[in-house]
A = this chain, B = another copy of it.
Amino acid sequence: MITTGNEKKGKEKLSLTSQRAVARLALYRRMLLHAKDDGQHTMYSHELADLIGVHSPQVRRDLMEVGYLGHPRHGYEIAGLISRLDAYFGMDQGIRMVLVGVGNLGRAILNYFVGKQSHISMEAVFDTDPTKFDRTIGGCHCYPLDQLYAIVSGKGVHIGVITVPAVQAQSVADLLVKAGVNGLVNLAPARLRVPPSVFVEDMDVTLAIEKVAYFSKMFSGDRGGK
């Protein structure tokens, strides 16, 4: 087990922070990176709270959870907190991922990573379309899907991103799990069945649209001008 320089109190709390909390922490990190780019050195909990739309005690409690202490008069030190969050997300050791399904959606996601250097790296992409084999797409080499196990297994790849049609999603998930990933980002509108040791995050655009359909109808009780 590798621990980085920043020591938190002896509490190596592996506790499962709630998914909501983890998402907020990722947002804090993003805002802190922006602030750092702008030359800021410290930030108050209430500033961070305003930036992502929560209350300041929420921020303080979240940061307490990751074991980073602020300064009662000056707030939180940005660079240090970013380092702490990097460690929290395992980015100090690097996160390796692969993507399966180089359609429009897959390419869109690859574009998020091309150019900008991140602690999260896309190691390879896979597809079943022979015209894509051995090409470099979005900065990544594209391999045939049936070589996935051979290429991914044992390489310490943590995350698989699934951007294939719904009908293929489960078989791709099975393949990725067999190859050793323990986290999946599933962009296909399908429900995946995976062993409990694998974490799945579903990103279902159709579902999101339906949600918005409901709430937007509700929000527009009257649509009279203002």
Contacts and interface: CB of A to CB of B under 8 A. Distances in A.
Interface string A191-220: 100000111010101111111111111111
A213 B183 contact: yes
Nearest to A210: B26
A201 B206 CA distance: 12
A9 B218 CA distance: 11
A11 interface: yes
Interface stretch (A37-45, A71-79, A89-97, A127-135): A89-97
A77 to B, nearest CB: 21
A91 B209 CA distance: 12
Interface residues on A, range: 35 or more
Given A53-B191, A219-B183, A203 B213 contact: no
B105 A213 contact: no
Contacts of A181: 216
A97 B8 CA distance: 42
A88 B16 CA distance: 35
Interface stretch (A56-64, A141-149, A154-162): A154-162
A183 B218 CA distance: 10
A212 B191 contact: no
Given A103-B108, A159-B209, 16 more contacts: A1-B222, A19-B211, A26-B214, A52-B191, A90-B213, A95-B217, A104-B104, A104-B105, A112-B206, A120-B209, A158-B220, A159-B216, A185-B205, A185-B212, A197-B220, A198-B219
24 contacts: A14-B218, A22-B211, A26-B211, A51-B191, A53-B191, A89-B210, A89-B217, A108-B108, A108-B163, A112-B205, A120-B209, A120-B213, A158-B216, A158-B217, A159-B213, A181-B216, A183-B213, A183-B216, A183-B219, A198-B216, A198-B219, A199-B216, A201-B208, A201-B212
